[in-house]
Amino acid sequence: MTISEQYRQLNKHLHELGSYGRKGDKWAARVRELIGEYQPTTILDYGCGQGALGRALGIPIREYDPAIAGKDQPPEKADLVVCTDVLEHVEPAHLDAVLDDLKRVTGRCLFAVISTRPAKKTLADGRNAHQIVEEWTFWEERLSRRFRIEAHSANHKEVEVVLLAL
């Protein structure tokens, strides 16, 4: 299980407010670079939120978000998987399941961006929207069990990483 029902409902509520999951487009230029480099025939936005990345790219992509009706079915494998500003939102008890699912759906390349600081948003139950606030070493250990790290960069607020399927 990659998400509890209670947590799915909390995230669904934030999405319904309209200001959550709307910034995937800020990664469109980097995703275009990866498209040029890896020439994927299929692209999946894993944790797509409101679908801003797909709109910005202007090409057909698959979208998955467990808290949005119509986008909540388990996704199929794709050549390029994009998972930006998602992993820090995962419930700690479900992190391994989510990372295993990302491994399952990644055909060639996974592009992930992970925030390393608390969110500005809070869940309806009072918790910070970022359930996992950890530095690169935490993520490196978990990701390298499932993927080959091709490139990464980190700053004071996030980690950007390109991972290849094993």
> pLDDT by residue (tens digit) across 122-166?
999 999 999 999 999 999 999 999 999 999 999 999 999 999 998
Are the beta carbons of 43 and 80 closer than 8 angstroms? Answer: yes
Does residue 76 fall inside a structural domain?
yes
Q: What is the CATH number of the domain that holds 44?
A: 3.40.50.150
Are the beta carbons of 47 and 98 closer than 8 angstroms? Answer: no
CB-count burial class (<10 Å; 0-12, 13-18, 19+) for 59? exposed
Are the beta carbons of 49 and 65 closer than 8 angstroms? Answer: yes
The count of structural domains within the chain is: 1
pLDDT(51) > 90:
yes
Q: Which domain holds residue 131?
A: 5-147
Does residue 84 fall inside a structural domain?
yes
Cα–Cα distance, 106 to 100 (Å, whole number): 10
